């Protein structure tokens, strides 16, 4: 494939490892850990991998030469910038342990393990992908690894290739699967370690011990560039309201980070909508009020950021979606019905309140709510056109306000959805370094012989050489949640904290941003140049560190 000039220049970038990882390391054990909730239940489900200690790496003054080790790697879920560097770091890490170590990549996600689809990742292949965006080196997929038959089938190929450790790069769902797999392989003495790496542009795989998931930094920088460009256009033309939906299936971290970077007129935060028990109409009214106030000052333009997951956080909608999830999970016949029959089926089988909410929605949106769930039972919110739903309803509300004499402006809306534009961007310096170090660190965890751990780097607002490396038992992040109509142990998703500094900074400024036009235009990611332009972490990470 022909390379762009940037790709060629970027291939030469050498990610900066934390100092600790630049030589031989030894692991120092912390105290035994507990899951974040439902401890007794989770302990019972994970008898072999529950309660393990946190691990911190230190330099080892007495290194020993490691034995060659064969490792498998899987990319899973949505693409996130930096995935290739995790694999490059892992490759370099296992080669550093012993030059005869080998790396195998399972193709198109976890399904590749079950179907025995793989390639060996050799140095020439790895070198083609250093510091590039995308997951195309081995592809990704959303197959859920949860059944014993899948684990056993996977084990056949792992044994055949003499693979002693498997690295699963994924979000909360796939790291949940990694922990389940680690427990199973340990319980049958399979001799295969499983290590997870925190990936997702959504930024919702983080907690006290995992500071950030990779990809969030680059993706939010790309979206912020686009929002900035739109704001400059909107400020120049002064005639459109731009409704911009941003990816982030559940949490609003992406929307919040982009708001902090670009200072739009409005940004909705789903977690706040839920906490305040707002209805869809409340949200619409608040947007319409800002539109009216700006119109009164002669400004018939503006920007509204909408998190993709909003719909699931509106309490009435949440209850409707939860009931729909259960109903659809136990109604296989639903898929074969025609569209009108499906509507009738849903209305007939839902509780009265939820059926009323369902019927009150525009038909298109109601239908979008019943589309296929992903393999983890999640509604595919990226298919729901919330930006259009909101602008339509705002338009209607403004007409009423005109009649009431409290609005006298022009409202013309344009719609955007930013998601895929950022998921495969060339990783920022932060993500290039973070991902490479996550992969390299995973190799160190493998060398320690541990299983059921997530690769972890902390102190992320400091230059990468000062990051702290180690491993976190995945079961520590677990709680019990309802999935596909059943209670399951899963990694707790990190939602936007309304008491956290990132949200509080936004909340303190949003009224000013609503009425005054205070747009910021971040411009494109810079890979070369002064550190204050090239190496800044996200504002979210920066403000979260102020909370520590």
Q: What residues line the site for ligand FBP (CB under 6 A)?
A: 77-78, 80, 171, 200-202, 247-249, 308, 380-382, 419, 423
Exactly one of 92, 172, 173, 202 is catalytic; name it.
202
CB of 394 to ligand FBP, least distance (A): 23
Give 500's contacts (C-beta < 8 A, 6+ positions apart): 543, 544, 547
Q: Is 217 among the catalytic positions?
A: no
Listing DSSP states for 217-249 in one string gives HHHHHHHHHHHHHHHHHHHHH---EEEEEE--S
CB of 228 to ligand FBP, least distance (A): 21
420/528 with CB nearer ligand FBP: 420
Q: Of the candidates 49, 437, 505, which has an alpha carbon nearest to the alpha carbon of residue 212?
A: 437
25/259 with CB nearer ligand FBP: 259
> How, if at all, do strands 53-59 and 413-418 pair?
unpaired
CB of 179 to ligand FBP, least distance (A): 16
CB of 98 to ligand FBP, least distance (A): 32
75/181 with CB nearer ligand FBP: 75
177/517 with CB nearer ligand FBP: 177
The 8-class DSSP code of residue 510 comes to H
21 in Cβ contact with 56 (< 8 Å): no
CB of 36 to ligand FBP, least distance (A): 19
CB of 107 to ligand FBP, least distance (A): 17
Alpha-carbon distance 64 to 58, whole Å?
15
Q: Of the candidates 83, 421, 84, 76, which has an alpha carbon nearest to the alpha carbon of residue 258?
A: 421
Listing DSSP states for 124-182 in one string gives HHHHHHTT--SSTTT--B------HHHHHHHHHHHHHTTEEEEEEEESHHHHHHHHHHH
CB of 172 to ligand FBP, least distance (A): 7
CB of 315 to ligand FBP, least distance (A): 21
80/390 with CB nearer ligand FBP: 80
72/419 with CB nearer ligand FBP: 419
State the residue for tokens 């991902």.
435
Q: Is 2 helix (H, G, I), strand (E, B) or coil?
A: coil
State the residue for tokens 């409202």.
411
Residue 95 buriedness (CB in 10 A; 0-12 / 13-18 / 19+):
middle
CB of 189 to ligand FBP, least distance (A): 31
93/248 with CB nearer ligand FBP: 248
Residue 490 phi/psi, 5° resolution?
Answer: -145, 160
349/380 with CB nearer ligand FBP: 380
* C-beta atoms surrounding 332 within 10 Å: 8
Q: Which two tokens stand for residue 174?
A: 């796939």
CA atoms within 13 A on the CB side of 238: 8
CA-derived radius of gyration, the chain: 24
170/522 with CB nearer ligand FBP: 170
CB of 423 to ligand FBP, least distance (A): 6
Q: Give long-range contacts, CB 8 A cutoff, 24+ apart: 514-518.
A: 514/265, 514/266, 514/290, 514/293, 514/294, 515/290, 515/293, 515/294, 515/297, 517/235, 517/265, 517/299, 518/263
Alpha-carbon distance 435 to 218, whole Å?
12
Q: Of the candidates 353, 351, 378, 355, which has an alpha carbon nearest to the alpha carbon of residue 366?
A: 355
Q: Which two tokens stand for residue 302?
A: 């503006």
Alpha-carbon distance 76 to 175, whole Å?
9
Q: Which two tokens stand for residue 49?
A: 């991998």
202/271 with CB nearer ligand FBP: 202
Residue whose CB is nearest to ligand FBP in the complex, by number? 77
H/E element holding 73?
Answer: strand 70-75
Q: What residues are annotated to the active site?
A: 202
């Amino acid at each position: 494939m022909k390379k762009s000039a940037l790709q060629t220049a970027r291939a030469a970038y050498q990610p900066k490892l934390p100092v600790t990882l630049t030589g031989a390391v030894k692991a120092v054990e912390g105290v035994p850990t507990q899951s974040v909730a439902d401890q007794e239940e989770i302990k019972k489900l994970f008898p072999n991998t529950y309660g393990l200690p946190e691990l911190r790496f230190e330099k080892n003054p007495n290194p020993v030469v490691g034995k060659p080790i064969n490792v498998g790697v899987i990319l899973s879920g949505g693409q996130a910038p930096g995935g290739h560097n995790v694999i490059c770091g892992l490759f370099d890490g296992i080669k550093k342990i012993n030059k005869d170590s080998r790396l195998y990549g399972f193709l198109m996600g976890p399904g590749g393990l079950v179907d025995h689809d793989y390639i060996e990742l050799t140095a020439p292949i790895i070198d083609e992908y250093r510091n590039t965006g995308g997951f195309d080196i081995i592809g990704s997929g959303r197959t859920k690894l949860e059944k014993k038959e899948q684990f056993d089938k996977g084990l056949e190929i792992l044994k055949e290739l003499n693979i002693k450790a498997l690295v699963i790069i994924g979000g909360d769902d796939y790291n949940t699967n990694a922990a389940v797999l680690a427990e199973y392989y340990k319980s049958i003495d399979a001799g295969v370690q499983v290590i997870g790496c925190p990936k997702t542009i959504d930024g919702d795989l983080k907690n006290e011990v995992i500071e950030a998931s990779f990809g969030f930094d680059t993706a939010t920088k790309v979206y912020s560039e686009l929002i900035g460009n739109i704001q400059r256009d909107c400020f120049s033309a002064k005639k459109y309201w731009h409704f911009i939906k941003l990816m982030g299936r559940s949490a609003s971290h992406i929307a919040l980070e982009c708001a902090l970077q670009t200072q739009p007129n409005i940004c909705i935060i789903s977690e706040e909508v839920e906490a305040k028990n707002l209805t869809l109409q409340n949200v619409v009214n608040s947007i319409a009020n800002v539109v009216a106030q700006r119109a009164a000052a002669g400004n018939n333009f503006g920007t509204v950021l909408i998190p993709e997951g909003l719909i699931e956080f509106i309490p009435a909608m949440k209850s409707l979606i939860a009931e729909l999830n259960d109903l659809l999970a136990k109604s296989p016949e639903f898929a074969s019905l025609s569209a009108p029959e499906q509507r009738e089926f849903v209305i007939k089988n839902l509780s009265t309140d939820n059926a009323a909410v369902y019927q009150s929605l525009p038909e298109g949106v109601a239908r979008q709510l019943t589309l296929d769930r992903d393999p983890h039972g999640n509604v595919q919110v990226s298919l729901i056109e919330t930006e259009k739903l909101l602008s339509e309803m705002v338009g209607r509300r403004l007409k009423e306000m005109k009649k009431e004499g409290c609005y006298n402006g022009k409202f013309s809306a344009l719609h955007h959805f930013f998601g895929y534009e950022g998921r495969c961007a060339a990783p920022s310096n932060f993500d290039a370094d973070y991902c490479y170090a996550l992969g390299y660190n995973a190799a160190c965890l493998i060398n320690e012989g541990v299983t059921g751990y997530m690769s972890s780097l902390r102190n992320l607002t400091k230059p990468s050489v000062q990051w702290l490396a180690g491993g976190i038992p995945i079961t520590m992040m677990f709680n019990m949640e309802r999935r596909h109509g059943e209670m399951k142990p899963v990694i707790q998703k990190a939602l936007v904290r309304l008491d956290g500094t990132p949200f509080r900074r936004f909340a303190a400024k949003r009224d000013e941003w609503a009425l005054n036009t205070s747009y910021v235009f971040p411009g494109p990611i810079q890979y070369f140049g002064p550190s204050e332009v090239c190496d800044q972490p996200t504002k979210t990470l920066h403000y979260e560190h102020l909370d520590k």
